[in-house]
Amino acid sequence: MAKPPFAALICALAGLGTALGFLAAELRADGYEQYVESVTTAAGVIYIAAALVGVTWLRARRADAD
């Protein structure tokens, strides 16, 4: 069975979370305060998803070692 691309998925999610963080900063600077909380929440959820993929990766490696 082929190994899932965990590293690529983690990097993509972290990149998307970072991009949304920068977007939130730009929105705040441009005066769009009503959207900042939603974008920041989305960035946080994406970072949590990246962390969960990392945990899954570690658990999959540990299962393969047994």
Supply 24's token pair: 């939130």
Instruction: In whole angstroms, give the CA distance from residue 65 to residue 14.
Output: 27
Given a contact cutoff of 8 angstroms between Cβ atoms, the answer to whether 16 and 45 are in contact is no
Residue 13: give the domain boundaries: 6-64
Residue 2 phi/psi, 5-degree rounding, is: -75, 145
1, part of any domain: no
Q: Does residue 14 fall inside a structural domain? A: yes
Tally of structural domains, the chain: 1
Q: What is the pLDDT along the chain (66 residues), one digit of tens a residue?
A: 567 899 999 999 999 999 999 999 999 999 999 999 999 999 999 999 999 999 999 998 887 776
